[in-house]
Structure 1
Amino acid sequence: METKTNPRSSIYDRQPQNSKTRRQIQTPSAESNPIFPEDIIAEILSRLPVKSLLKFKCVSKSWRSLISSKHFIVAHLRISRKNTNFTRHTIISTILRPCYRLNQCSLQSLLCGPMGDGVDSYYPMITINNSVRIVGCCNGLVCIAINGKYFCLWNPSIKEYKKLPDVDDEMKMGLFITKYGFGFDESNEDYKDGLPFDDNGKYVSGKLHWGRRDGFNSRWDIVSFDLGLEICETVEQPKYVENGFSLSLGLVGGCLCVLCDFPKTSLDVWVLKEYGVRESWVKLVTVPYNLDDDPWKGPYSTPLCIGPKGEILLVYGSSFVVYDPKGNCFRQQKITNFGSFLEADVYTESLVSLVLDGE
């Protein structure tokens, strides 16, 4: 004889009718759930990725208000910057062909994995004929130049953007490559793109920095531009032991760095550990050229990051290379869907919004 089951019966109805058993498996009522203090909830949420936080805005009005608050956004960004596994960091590059476009890849996969996956970035104002260049990255925002004359701020993590006012005609890049800088004016809490120069400005401690060589006496200087005070100064360099090498400026781990290139020999990376203190310049690593077992002959561009074990991620032509100073060896990192690129930068995912209240 076939036994029919009531479709409306619950798991409780199919359990032995024992009141003690039933009480043990019942879900606690909402009133009996523990209530965490708001500061504990904020502490937990601030350690989650942006993608999850955008979803959690729908949980309640209080969570939406918390996640959207300025204090929370700043705290979340501070924690993301210190993420030693680089799960909150992304490499963004200008791909040359078929036209200038943007592509991005997880920094963690480049530093730690054998291969990374590149994905196209659908940046603001994108059209078939547009070309795009990266001006700089700061606080999870990317400043881009479109067709060499239109500037735009963009947060890829929350997909917000804001077009900046057009620059004067005489300052537009046109057919000539003029590079700018992008940073945060801490005194006025505003983002600014800096003066045009012969290289991208490096943002540290509220200032943009460029390397400049005096053609008359071959002296190389580090020039800073204070975004709040709008004044230029020079930054004291490391006390180099040797002369006659090629110098360039970079940024690694949030610190200003100088690359000293000894042609066909090695590359020294100096880092300013404490901004404004000349004695805090430290030679971080020496990257050799022409190792017997490796094809990498240099020169390399600015280091993109330093890994937890001291490994350093470098750009070599249109390739990414990891140098391990402990093993004195190189490792090439391959990326799918990634062609020849013009430049590479690192941005940290953030909740920093470009939309003002009421817009």
Structure 2
Amino acid sequence: MESKRNGASNLPPKRKKPHNFAQLPSTSVKDSSFNRIPVLPEELVTQILLRLPVKSLLKFRSVSKSWLGLISNPEFINTHLSKSANNKDFTHHRFMLSFCLPKYNLKDCSASSLIYDSVAEALDLEYPTKEIRRSVEIVGSVNGLICLVIAKKYFLIWNPSIRKFKKLPECRDELCFGHHSMYGFVYDEVHGDYKVVAGFNNEGYGYSFLVKVKMYSLNSDSWTSLEDFESGVLGTKLGVFVNGKLHWANSVYRRSGWDIISVDLADRTWGEVEQPYYGEGDFGWTLGVLGTDLSVFSNYRRIQADVWVLKEYGVKESW
């Protein structure tokens, strides 16, 4: 769930510390039948625009060159994103769902409608390209951008607000043939870069698998290889991003249960997160994020459900 984002280019700019925006010129309207009518103060106009949804801002870019410059300003875009993301009424947040039957399609729904309306309205949303004919998966969403993978091979970064997308360079063939794929889509705040992580199990001897992993950087527009990771079977496809690391569930050969593995995007090293004691009995669990903390949702045969939250990353006792 992400707030949608405006922009004049295909992809949003890097985040920077906010500065004063370029001010709109002071103007007034004069007509032979009316006295001079003053306009709103420039600062007030800026604050009003910052509270509007993306669709309105896209229309208002054509009002004047000054408005186009303001709305396209990187600082304005970043501030608008921040205000939208922190909107307590969730009026700028939306859910997106993908379906594969009877054909691959997308549904778009307002988060505020789900929360406050008795019946939420879901709208059809077209894929960014007509080339989609095979399996499509949503890798993740960050700052209003959505990453899609087609047939486990072709990746797109899509901004549905401005209806533009970027097709990423292809991975090498060796990465695109395997089992139990894993993905991740994140924004690296340290380097101001959007990154895509893709990994696949390559079958080895017996029940042993090797995860081949690559990472794409939007800044360099290229893929680089990460250190291979020996594993059993990946339990989750979509990575959970917490504390600068992507996390997946993973089962290791000759060991019972599941582990939480992670890859640090800064130093590209693999690690493991210690888990709490869930109790006895069979249960299924799902990785997630609650606020900014890593979480685990455990479901005990549909009878009982617990939510575990890691309040201090790296400290087992803080679960």
Q: Same fold (TM over 0.5)?
A: yes
* Corresponding residue to 2:36 among 29, 42, 52: 29
Please say which structure displays the higher CA radius of gyration.
Answer: 1
Q: Specify the SS of the correspondent of 1:66.
A: helix
Give the counterpart letter for 2:103 in structure 1: C
Query: In the alignment, is the contact (CA less than 8 A) between 1:188 and 1:228 conserved in 2?
Result: no
Which stretch shows the higher mean deviation, 270-279 or 43-52? 270-279
Is 1:206 matched up with 2:247?
no
Q: What is the percentage of aligned positions where both structures have the same residue?
A: 45
Q: Which residue number corresponds to residue 345 of structure 1?
A: none
Aligned to 1:75: 79
Aligned 1:123-138 pairs, distance under 5 A? 123-127=127-131, 129-138=133-142
- Asked whether the equivalents of residues 140 and 155 of structure 1 are also in contact (C-alpha less than 8 Å), the reply is yes
- The answer to whether the aligner puts 1:84 opposite 2:88 as a matched pair is yes
Q: Distance in 2 between matches of 1:95 and 1:228?
A: 34
Q: Structure 1: state its 5+ residue gaps.
A: 1-25, 282-359
Residues of 2 paired with 1:147 and 1:266: CA distance?
36
* 1:265 has 2:303 as partner: yes
Higher strand share: 2
Alpha-carbon shift at residue 260 of structure 1 (Å): 1.5
Aligned residue pairs total: 251
Give the Å deviation of 1:101. Answer: 2.4
- Please give the secondary structure, in 2, of the residue aligned with 1:97: coil
Aligned-partner SS, 1:102:
strand
2:277 maps to which of 223, 230, 240: 240
In 1, are the aligned partners of 2:181 and 2:198 still within 8 Å (CA)? no
One-letter amino acid of the structure 1 residue matched with residue 162 of structure 2? I
Structure-2 separation of matches of 1:63 and 1:225:
43
Provide closer, same or farther for how the CA distance between residues 273 and 41 of structure 1 changes in structure 2, counting only shifts above 3 A.
Answer: farther
- CA drift of 1:262 comes to 1.5
Distance 1:102 1:242 in 2: 39
Partner of 2:127: helix, strand, or coil?
Answer: coil
Q: Which residue of 1 aligns with 2:204?
A: none
- AA matched with 2:196: D
- Report the counterpart of residue 6 of structure 2 in structure 1: none
| Contact 1:101–1:132 (Cα < 8 Å) also in 2 | no
Question: Equivalences for 1:1-359 in 2 at 5 Å?
Answer: 28-30=35-37, 32-37=38-43, 40-127=44-131, 129-172=133-176, 178-196=181-199, 198=234, 199-218=237-256, 220-237=258-275, 239-240=276-277, 242-244=279-281, 245-273=283-311, 281=319
Distance in 1 separating the partners of 2:92 and 2:247: 25
> Structure 2-normalised TM-score?
0.69
CA contact (8 A) 1:183 1:206 kept: no
Letter in 1 for 2:199: P
What is the CA-CA distance between 1:162 and the residue it aligns to? Answer: 0.3
- What SS does the aligned partner of 2:199 have? coil
The aligned amino acid for 1:204 is V
Of the two structures, which has the highest relative contact order with CA contacts closer than 8 Å and spacing of 6 or more?
1
Q: Secondary structure at the match of 1:71?
A: helix
Q: Distance in 2 between matches of 1:47 and 1:220?
A: 44
Aligned mates of 1:249, 1:128 — CA distance in 2? 29
Normalising by the residue count of structure 1, what TM-score does the alignment of the two structures yield?
Answer: 0.62
How far 1:134 moved relative to its partner?
0.7
